[in-house]
């Protein structure tokens, strides 16, 4: 056998094995994500793919899920938009309660609206 006849099988193995392994890894990650999205229940703390944190308010629909993002504010999302469940730490709860106890003072100013029809 010469070197030329061994190059093709060697090249094929070097390309096929990494492709096969990455496809398996991607398939496993997809299965884990689908498992997470189907296991969501009311009260779970979640984060969406856009980075929004909230609590599951209603998980009875097949393709959508209702998330409470603030007290009394519930929004509807596709289940596919749920990225992960988030575990709330005791430290975060203590910080939230401390923030609630402090008075909130806002100093925001509103800019005048632009007049696009004004001549320069």
Give 49-64 pLDDT, tens digit per residue.
Answer: 999 999 999 999 889 9
Type and span of the H or E element at 72: none
Cβ–Cβ under 8 Å, residues 35 and 49: no
Q: What is the CATH number of the domain that holds 83?
A: 2.30.30
DSSP state of 79: G
Residues 91 and 72 in one domain: yes
What are 89-111's pLDDT values in tens digits? Answer: 545 554 555 555 555 555 666 66
**pLDDT at residue 37 tops 90:** no
For the chain, the domain total comes to 2
- What is the token pair recorded at 74? 């519930």
Q: pTM for the whole thing? A: 0.56
Residue 33 lies in a domain: yes
Residue 104 lies in a domain: no
Residue 118 lies in a domain: no
Structural domain range at position 53 = 40-99
- What is the token pair recorded at 65? 């899920």
**pLDDT at residue 10 tops 80:** yes
Residues 46 and 26 in one domain: no
How many residues does this entry show for the chain?
Answer: 120
């Amino acid at each position: 056998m010469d070197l030329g006849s061994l190059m093709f099988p060697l090249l094929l193995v070097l390309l096929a094995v990494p492709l096969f392994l990455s496809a398996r890894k991607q398939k496993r990650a997809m299965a884990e994500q689908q498992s997470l999205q189907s296991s969501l229940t009311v009260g779970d703390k979640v984060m969406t793919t856009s980075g929004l944190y909230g609590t599951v308010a209603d998980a009875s629909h097949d393709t959508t899920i209702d998330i409470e993002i603030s007290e009394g504010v519930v929004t509807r999302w596709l289940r596919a938009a749920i990225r992960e469940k988030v575990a709330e730490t005791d430290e975060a709860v203590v910080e939230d309660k401390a923030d609630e106890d402090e008075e909130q003072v806002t100093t925001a100013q509103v800019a005048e609206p632009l007049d696009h029809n004004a001549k320069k």
